[in-house]
Amino acid sequence: MSDSDNSNSVGAVTPQRVRFGAPIQLKGGAVLPDFELVFETYGELNAARSNAVLVCHALAGSHHVAGWYADQPGHLGWWDNLVGPGKPLDTNRFFVVGVNNLGGCYGSTGPVTPNPASGKPWGADFPVITVEDWVAAQARLADHLGIDVWAAVLGGSLGGMQALEWTLQFPHRIRHAMVIASTPKLTAQNIAFNEVARQAILTDPDFHAGHYYEHRAVPRRGLRLARMVGHITYLSDNQMDQKFGRQLHGGKHQFSYEVDFEVESYLRYQGDKFSRSFDANTYLLITKALDYFDPALDFGGDLKAALARAQANFFVASFDTDWRFPPQRSRELVHALLANRRNVTYAEIACTAGHDSFLLDDAHYHALMRAYFENIKL
């Protein structure tokens, strides 16, 4: 953090790790005999244990939500602009928890960690995980931290699905669900994008059917392509045009297949960066979790019936330029909640940045979040 004013940062943080010895039954049928989760906390749990807030991460996120690491001062948490003393999610008031989900690649049990049966990394043998499984694992973490009821669970995109799932799986353990830039289910187009990403990884010769670790290989080309296509869908057409337009990287047309346009350079950079830091099996697993999430499925597609269990109050927000999870998906959720007589507030925020808007510190967006948090009683 180069900024000289760190007064509203949680500061240097240290991840923690907890091992759960009891087996966890996964929705897909498999059982993990035990598992570990890596997490971070910010602020203090109050005596009544009524001020705990869980922040759920999306595809590329982790437990590192806010602050930085002493040995990596530049490595800011992915939602640092929201979480900190005096920030919209104020750590002077709330005890905030970030967790790397089961199947992740930032320390929690997942494809890169050893399979106790073989001593080798799980790789492709790691069971397919669902949003429901993530929430079940997060509930174990809540137990461990002595949190019976979350004041709020929030997340953007896939994180919002977890907040929603909390209200269904543990209706009495969550008082407020904040579901941002999310959806109660993916559309065919969403699944199609995920499938392109998966095919990029699965067909990379370095993938080795998911056991690339023992071949000392990394399916970097596949991950890179997966990230490139994903990244396009997180931005808006207008924003890309404003940011890059038809600007040329080298000042003139190259008449070759090297980088001509700035947007190509940007996508390659993003793809390269991601492919060095993320695990391909985790990417596959998380895109599947996204695809499978559909709480209405067991209710014949009736979302209203599916949400009848929910007891929480809801804050739902979408962004007008988000075409990955457009406002219409959030409206469907809102109307199903209304039909169940839940308290719900819905904001449709004007922001140019597409799906990724939820990570930005747009003044109106953050003012809404701040106001909502301030009204949460402790």
Partner 1 sequence: MTHAPERFDFDVIAGWIRPGERVLDLGCGDGSLLRHLRDTRQVLGYGVELSPANVLACVKMGINVLQSDLERGLSGFESGGFDHVIMSLSLQAVHNTERLLREMLRVGREAAVSFPNFGYHSHRAAIAAGRMPVSKALPYRWYDSPNVRFFTIADFEDLCAAMKISILECHAFDESAMRVRDNPNLNASIALYRLGRTAPAA
Q: Which residues participate in catalysis according to the annotation?
A: 157, 322, 355
Task: Tell me phi and psi for residue 281, to 5 degrees.
Answer: -65, -40
378 is a site residue for partner 1 (CB under 8 A):
no
Pairing relation of β-strands 35-42 and 16-20?
A: antiparallel
User: Between vectors from CA 59 to CA 54 and to CA 60, what angle results, nearest 5°?
Assistant: 95
Q: Is 38 helix (H, G, I), strand (E, B) or coil?
A: strand
Give the Cα separation of 76 and 329 in Å (integer).
31
Query: Binding to partner 1 (CB under 8 A): which residues in 333-352?
Result: 334-335, 338-339, 341, 343-350
The reply on whether position 331 binds partner 1 by CB under 8 A is yes
Binding segment for partner 1 (CB under 8 A), chosen from 43-51, 62-70, 243-251, 331-339, is 331-339
Answer yes or no whether residue 367 interacts with partner 1 by CB under 8 A.
Answer: yes
Cβ proximity to partner 1: between 367 and 378 the closer is 367
# chain residues binding partner 1, by CB under 8 A: 22
By CB under 8 A, residue 332 contacts partner 1: yes
Quick check: 371 binds partner 1 (CB under 8 A)?
yes
Mark 155-172 as b/e (b = at least 16 C-beta within 10 Å): bbbbbbbbbbbbbbbbee
Nearer to partner 1, 272 or 332 (CB): 332
CB 170, min distance to partner 1, A:
23
Judged by CB, which is closer to partner 1: 243, or 335? 335
User: Based on CB atoms, which residue is closest to partner 1, 223 or 344?
Assistant: 344
Burial (Cβ within 10 Å: 0-12, 13-18, ≥19) of residue 341: exposed
Cα separation, 328 vs 365, in Å, equals: 18
**Torsion angle (degrees, nearest 10) of CA 171, 135, 233, 371:** 50
Q: Which of 118, 189, 199, 375 binds partner 1 (CB under 8 A)?
A: 375
Residues lying near partner 1 in the complex (CB under 8 A): 331-332, 334-335, 338-339, 341, 343-350, 364, 367-368, 371-372, 374-375
